[in-house]
């Protein structure tokens, strides 16, 4: 899968790939998206070098342990894990000093969760509508590749076509979905 495709995946899709497929590119994409924010949280508690180390420890923990967590929203979860790791480090360094963990919510822009859920549902409805407008072969290839994580070869065998046809249907399907989403852009924006 190309880097461009990873960039377009949701955090939760990337986490699924890390947890269930041991996908290093998915972890690298999450790191690229959030390491700077995690570092900002770490620097509220620790020195710059210690904060960098903390971020690396947390991302290693994601790689090794993410399968055991049920993460609904990655960004707030990451904030909490980084904050807790930093607080533990502070307690190790200064066990008798109280730690103020209250004024640290710059990392996550908390939104009205019901609004966010409504927006996600609207996006899903638009996606379903756009998928239904694709040619059948494009739709099948898109669903098998993204929803069922099938490889080009598996899709080709399943649909009795060659890898080049699969690649073509995926490229055209993605392009058509992008165009369709573009037509619905105003209804997604709030």
Give pLDDT tens digits for 155-166. 999 999 999 999
Helix (H) or strand (E) holding 57: helix 48-65
What average pLDDT does range 161-174 have in this prediction? 92
What average pLDDT does range 63-87 have in this prediction? 88
Region 3-93: CATH code:
1.10.1740.10
- The tokens for 161 are 């076509």
- pLDDT digits over 28-54, tens only? 999 999 999 999 989 988 888 999 999
Q: What local confidence, expressed as pLDDT, does residue 45 receive?
A: 86
Query: How many whole angstroms separate alpha carbon 74 and alpha carbon 182?
Result: 26
Residue 120's pLDDT band (cuts 50, 70, 90): low
Q: What local confidence, expressed as pLDDT, does residue 190 receive?
A: 42
The per-residue b/e assignment along 114-128, b for 16 or more CB within 10 angstroms, e otherwise, is eeeeeeeeeeeebee
- Which of 63-77, 107-121, 128-142, 145-159 has the weakest average pLDDT? 107-121
Question: Which is higher by pLDDT, 4 or 174?
Answer: 174
Q: What local confidence, expressed as pLDDT, does residue 103 receive?
A: 44
The whole model's pTM is what?
0.49
Residue 189 pLDDT > 80 = no
Query: How many whole angstroms separate alpha carbon 149 and alpha carbon 113?
Result: 29
Question: Among the residues of 66-162, which ranges form H helices?
Answer: 74-93, 113-133, 136-142, 152-159
**Helix, strand, or coil here: 173?**
helix
CATH architecture of 113-188: Orthogonal Bundle (1.10)
Tell me 102's DSSP state: S
Q: What are phi and psi of 28, to 5 degrees?
A: -60, -35
Tell me 27's DSSP state: H
- The tokens for 158 are 């399943």
Q: Per-domain residue ranges for the chain?
A: 3-93, 113-188
């Amino acid at each position: 899968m190309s880097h461009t495709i990873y960039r377009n995946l949701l955090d939760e899709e990337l986490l699924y790939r890390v947890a269930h497929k041991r996908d290093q590119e998915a972890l690298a994409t999450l790191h690229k998206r959030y390491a700077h924010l995690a570092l900002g949280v770490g620097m509220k508690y620790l020195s710059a070098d210690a904060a960098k180390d903390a971020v690396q420890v947390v991302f290693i923990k994601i790689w090794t342990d993410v399968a055991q967590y049920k993460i609904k929203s990655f960004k707030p979860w990451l904030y909490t894990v980084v904050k807790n790791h930093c607080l533990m480090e502070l307690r190790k360094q200064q066990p008798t000093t109280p730690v103020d963990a209250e004024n640290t919510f710059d990392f996550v822009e908390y939104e009205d969760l019901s609004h966010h859920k409504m927006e996600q549902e609207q996006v899903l409805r638009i996606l379903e509508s756009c998928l239904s407008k694709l040619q059948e072969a494009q739709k099948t290839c898109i669903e098998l590749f993204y929803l069922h994580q099938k490889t080009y070869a598996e899709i080709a065998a399943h649909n009795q076509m060659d890898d080049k046809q699969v690649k073509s249907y995926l490229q055209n399907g993605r392009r058509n979905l992008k165009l369709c989403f573009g037509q619905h852009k105003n209804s997604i924006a709030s």
